[in-house]
Chain A
Amino acid sequence: MKAKTLGHFEKRQKSNVVIYIVCVFLAILSILPFWTMISNATRSTYQIQQHAISLIPSTHLSENAAVLTGKTFNPLTGFFNSLIISTGSTVCAIYFSTLTAFALVAYNWKMRQPFFTMILAVMMIPTQVISIGFYQFMYRIHMTNNMLALILPCIAAPMTVFFMRQYMLPSLNLDIVASARIDGAGEFRIFNSIVLPIMKPAMATQAIFTYVTSWNNLFMPMILLTKKENYTMPIMVSLLKGDIYKTEYGAVYLALTLSVLPLFVVYFILSKYIIAGVALGSVKE
């Protein structure tokens, strides 16, 4: 009996070893491309031509930076534009989605159920398939190259409304709303000073995802923003594919590194919340 238990134990240990090996391998697979990128950002073109992969950084960072700033890549402009668009989009999406969710949860209106059904129905329709009409519309009202064209549509974010509603249903006690009314608070004030604080955790989770999605978005900005000074980070990155960077290997790696550095910082600070947010069944694009 004892031997059997021991054998069982050993078997279990062995299979766990396989699991750890697979998991560590996958973790390395996640890191290695980025590690190569960062290390190559500090190496000269000649070093990369000799050996394109090296885990040890070199000393040519400033040379690569000089090559980069001499060309079209302007990380500061891209960073600043992305910052404005992402911040604007996130604030609009989070505030108005919570407001819409409040309308869906707290009030008993006739069109409530049809409205929610409509939100579910349009949740999966992506912007790609309506881009032609959207571009033509913006072109006609002279809103191309206007960042508002990318920010304002975020007020209607069906996915976020859906998430907010699911979170608000169990966590918002309607008794509190009712007693605030008795104290004489207006409906809009109830939303701003009672509902918003209750929704903080959900708003934080959704804010991270909206921000990252907006920051990474390439399709719409590329169609709408045609002036160089309006380019966002992903558009700047997409230009690295051009011929002027053909042999500037180190500079391209440095540009890529600069474009994702803010994301790495945000991810590793907030990873706990991000993973929890994904587990709640969050946005997939």
Chain B
Amino acid sequence: MQRSGKKLKGVNYAKYGYIFSIPFILVFLIFSLYPTVFTAVIGFTDFKGVVATTFHFLDKPFANFQKILANATFQKSLVNTVVIWIINFIPQLGLALLLTAWFTDRRRKIHGQGAFKVMFYMPNIITAATVAILYASLFGYPVGPMNDILTSLHLIDSPFYFANDPWAAKLVVAFIQFWTWYGYTTIILISGVLGINPELFESAEIDGATSRQTFFQITLPCMRTILLFTLITSLVGGLNMFDISKLYIYNGGPANETMTASVFIYTQAFSGTYMYNRAAAASMIMFVIIAVLSVLVFFLMRDKYEAKANKEMRRMKRALRKAGKEALQ
């Protein structure tokens, strides 16, 4: 036993931390970091055309960036992305908060919560490409279930071309986003409420607070971090929206009414004139926007993890001491 104790001290286990991280680091460097740098470099060159493999740096390094920022379609795609995100996110958060308030109210008992959650979350798991084409069919013109309902109820006289109207197109895309994500947001918010110290709710109850007061004075303030987290992750997700806006109306529509930034990058790079350099510049602009948002999330979450890391250190030290003692015995 004495011998193994000595051996334990002699072996340096720290190196295994490095060894076991190698696959991650290697793959990250090759498949993430290198493509990122490569994309950034292409943004400063004249690289375009489907078969091109060589490129030269531009005399004016920021020419691609200037062109992209001045590009009307890119501006429109950014505005579309934000507009669609806002029309989807505000009702989504409102409904999720309402459902959270109802499902976590200690004074009522809602039966079948599990089944409801399963139903609300279901659209989120279904392939977005399928959902987009399904909605294109449901809102089809002139033959489509939605037009069938509206004409049967005599709300409209003749079929409505949903995909051809700028606002109707945006609204349908925003609705699809809303419909796919509100269940997710609800579940996240409910789990956030369940993480709040129950003593707070108990003392509010004893003080005679109503359900409404409890929700607005205790639940909501305690959920500030998780609400911000939901907001920013949803914004980043919205900025990357691709499948639905690409497929609901092909490539964002003839007038680019539902074109998002991701669809713009895709069409610039992988169709028509294959403008890799412009698409790369647009990608880097998006990268910067998303990086800024990510930093926000990072600072939001940091304190919590630092506290956890300290706790873990103490635990580790204790475990080491214990292990050392055991080994010596």
Contacts and interface: CB of A to CB of B under 8 A. Distances in A.
A238 interface: yes
B302 to A, nearest CB: 8
Nearest to A268: B118
Interface stretch (A60-68, A133-141, A196-204): A133-141
A132 B269 contact: yes
A181 B8 contact: yes
A243 to B, nearest CB: 10
Given A123-B294, A238-B247, A107 B13 contact: yes
Contact of A16 (B108, B187, B305): B108
Interface in B50-92: 53
A23 B133 contact: no
Given A132-B276, A174-B319, A275-B117, A156 B32 contact: yes
Scoring A30, A129, A279, A284 by chain B CB atoms within 10 A of each residue's CB, the highest score goes to A129
Interface string A50-94: 011100000000000000000000000000000000000000000
Given A23-B116, A123-B294, A274-B125, A256 B262 contact: no
A12 B118 contact: no
A105 B315 CA distance: 11
Interface residues of B, number: 113
A129 B287 contact: yes
Interface string B124-148: 0111111001111110100111011
Scoring B20, B107, B290, B312 by chain A CB atoms within 10 A of each residue's CB, the highest score goes to B20
B32 A153 contact: yes
A24 to B, nearest CB: 8
Given A113-B309, A133-B37, A215 B137 contact: no
A52 B143 contact: yes
Contacts of B270: 135, 223
A196 to B, nearest CB: 13
* Secondary structure type dominating chain A contacts: helix
Contact of A124 (B4, B188, B236): B236
Interface string A264-285: 1001100110110011110011
B17 A108 contact: yes
A51 B144 CA distance: 8
Interface in B252-305: 262, 265-266, 269-270, 276, 279-280, 283-284, 286-287, 290-291, 293-295, 297-298, 301, 305
B201 interface: no
B240 A115 contact: no
A172 B297 CA distance: 28
B7 to A, nearest CB: 9
Interface residues of A, number: 104
Contacts of B265: 128-129, 131-132
A152 B129 contact: no
Interface stretch (B165-173, B213-221, B320-328): B320-328
Contacts of A178: 8, 319, 323, 326-327
A182 B327 contact: yes
B14 A12 contact: no
A131 B316 contact: no
Interface string A148-172: 0000110110000100000001000
A150 to B, nearest CB: 10
Scoring B123, B143, B322 by chain A CB atoms within 10 A of each residue's CB, the highest score goes to B143
A244 to B, nearest CB: 14
Contact of B129 (A97, A216, A275): A216
A218 B128 contact: yes
B158 interface: no
B21 A36 contact: no
A256 B244 CA distance: 14
Interface in B187-219: 187-188, 190-191, 194
Contacts of A19: 102, 108, 110
Contacts of B120: 26-27, 30
A112 interface: yes
Contacts of B19: 103, 187
A130 B32 contact: yes
A109 B283 contact: no
Nearest to B137: A252
B243 A234 contact: yes
Given A105-B312, A249-B137, A267-B125, 9 more contacts: A52-B145, A99-B24, A100-B21, A136-B276, A137-B34, A156-B23, A169-B312, A238-B246, A253-B137
16 contacts: A26-B116, A96-B27, A100-B24, A128-B265, A132-B265, A134-B38, A135-B270, A156-B32, A187-B13, A216-B128, A218-B128, A260-B127, A263-B125, A267-B122, A268-B118, A271-B118
What are the 10 tightest A-B residue pairs by CB atom distance, in nearest-first order?
A: A133-B38, A107-B17, A109-B17, A133-B39, A103-B20, A53-B145, A133-B35, A178-B323, A279-B191, A153-B31
